[in-house]
Amino acid sequence: MKTITINDLKPGMFVVGVTRQDGHVRVKSQGWVRTQGAIEALQKAGVLEVEIDPDKALQAKQQTPPEHNEAAQQDNVTVHDPWHKTTSVDAELDLATALYEEAKGIQEKAFADVKAGKAIAVEEFKQTASGFIDSIFRNQDALACIARIREKDSYLLEHSLNVSILMSIFAKHLGLERNIIEQLATGALLHDIGKIKISNEILNKPGKLSDDEYHLMMDHAKYSYEIVAQSGLGQIATEIAGFHHERLDGSGYPFGKKADELSQYVRMAAIVDVYDALTAERVYKVGLTPIRAFRILKEGTPDHYDADLLAHFINCIGVYPVGTLVKLKSERIGIVASSNPKEPLKPVVKVFYHAKNMLYTEVKDIDLADKRVTDELEAAIKPEDFSIDLIRFFRHTMMP
């Protein structure tokens, strides 16, 4: 095998994989790049280096004449677009909300089943995961928004749902296959199922846990591992449930596993689990802004978290994720309603409040990428800073 720059790639070469890039390209299957047009498509997609097999190069007489407009897909290379959308966020929001509420009901039933010593309804979780993924592939912004607008007293239920949603979005961003994403989403839905065996006094304690309480709390991951392993959902889901608190340097729990024992999927789950926990609103804790959560996660690299995966996650979620409450330079306040991957600092913001006047205003979508709009994002803010009931606003205004 040989690694070459994209400028050295020639028609007839056999591409094994993409080794360095600025974009999100993956090789659908190993194969020959037959045309100059395919090479140009890879260049435009941000590919910098590829790995080739020199022994499999086509001879000149076998090569197809270059065709400038030929798509890369015809050469077994596909350009992966993680932000592809087939419907608008408004059109998807109603269905996404119904999926989310249905999933909460399934979670509640599963907790009750485990407490009663019954087996969890595996098929219901598989269907829930599949529904989430379908919605995310239509327009990920809808479920992403719902995952950000959460009830303070429903953390145990909503955290697992949100981790499942974020894992699915993350996996889609990385270009993982559908069957893998389904296993990741299902494992994430059940990753905290073991907490049902931990007392509410410990789970909801507002202050710092004692050493004894902390050790009891750590056992939840071991319980989750056992429950999911017995469900027959497979290795990926079981490892996510049992290992999401493990860390690359071996300092995690419950098994003290190290980097070489932790799969990419577990490393993804560790990042997503901590991110959602840090940004969550709790009865006794104010959630952090995404930027502050990202900063804490970055401080944990490379000892605790995979630095490359974290960079991909930040790029995937964005500095101002959909559902984030933001203030514009015009003093208007709104929710990030739709992402803009080409210009992350110019999303669509649904404004509804004026910070200076402390008054609700007419609800209006502001597309910051529109050349006619002169407003800009100033900062992510907390609802309590302006006495805004974000959940009430979401239910009465965001819903179609």
**Within a domain: residue 84?**
no
Is 292 found in the same domain as 312? yes
Q: What is the pLDDT of residue 149?
A: 82
Exposure of 374 by Cβ count < 10 A (0-12 exposed, 13-18 middle, 19+ buried)?
A: exposed
Total domains in the fold of the chain:
3
CATH number of the domain at 227, please: 1.10.3210.10
Q: How far apart are CA 392 and CA 53, in angstroms?
A: 59
Is 257 found in the same domain as 110? yes
Point out the domain boundary residue: 254, 285, 317: 317
Query: Is residue 258 a contact partner of residue 264, using CB atoms and an 8 Å limit?
Result: no
| 176-234 confidence digits (pLDDT tens) | 999 999 999 999 999 999 999 999 899 888 888 999 999 999 999 999 999 999 999 99
Is 342 found in the same domain as 310? no
Helix (H/G/I), strand (E/B), else coil: 327: strand
Point out the domain boundary residue: 55, 79, 103: 79
Is 340 found in the same domain as 281? no
Is 56 found in the same domain as 94? no
Is 114 found in the same domain as 65? no
**What residues are paired with 365 via a beta bridge?**
350
Q: How far apart are CA 301 and CA 227, in angstroms?
A: 30
Is 231 found in the same domain as 122? yes
Q: What is the pLDDT of residue 21?
A: 77
- Token reading at 16: 């094994």
Is 199 found in the same domain as 118? yes
Q: What is the pLDDT of residue 25?
A: 54
Q: What is the pLDDT of residue 286?
A: 81
Give the pLDDT of the chain (400 residues) as one tens digit per residue. 788 988 888 887 878 878 887 765 555 446 677 777 678 777 777 788 888 888 777 654 333 333 433 444 444 555 567 777 888 888 898 899 999 999 999 999 999 999 999 989 999 999 999 999 999 999 999 999 999 887 766 888 899 999 999 999 999 999 999 999 999 999 999 999 999 999 989 988 888 899 999 999 999 999 999 999 999 999 999 999 999 999 999 999 999 999 999 999 999 999 999 999 999 988 677 889 999 999 999 999 999 999 999 999 999 999 899 999 999 999 999 999 999 888 889 999 999 999 999 899 999 999 999 999 999 999 999 888 888 887 777 766 665 4
- Token reading at 179: 């069957």
| 241-281 confidence digits (pLDDT tens) | 999 999 999 999 999 999 999 999 999 999 999 999 999 98
Point out the domain boundary residue: 270, 285, 317: 317
Question: Could you please report the per-residue DSSP string of 75-131?
Answer: GTEEE--TT--SS-HHHHHHHHHHHHHHHHHHHHHHHHHHHTTPPP-HHHHHHHHHH
Is 248 found in the same domain as 280? yes
Q: What is the pLDDT of residue 69?
A: 39
Query: Is residue 129 a contact partner of residue 164, using CB atoms and an 8 Å limit?
Result: yes
Q: How far apart are CA 333 and CA 352, in angstroms?
A: 6
How far are the Cα atoms of 245, 256, 277, 394 from residue 285, in angstroms, in the given order? 21, 28, 11, 21
Is 192 found in the same domain as 287? yes
- Token reading at 366: 């502001």
Query: Is residue 15 a contact partner of residue 51, using CB atoms and an 8 Å limit?
Result: yes
Q: What is the pLDDT of residue 395?
A: 64
Is 332 found in the same domain as 312? no
**Within a domain: residue 235?**
yes
Give percent of the chain above pLDDT 70.
Answer: 89
Q: What is the pLDDT of residue 30?
A: 61
Q: What is the pTM of this model?
A: 0.78
Domain ranges, residue 94: 89-317
**Within a domain: residue 330?**
yes
Query: Is residue 237 a contact partner of residue 190, using CB atoms and an 8 Å limit?
Result: yes
Which residue, chain included where needed, has tokens 């009891």? 216
Is 40 found in the same domain as 177? no
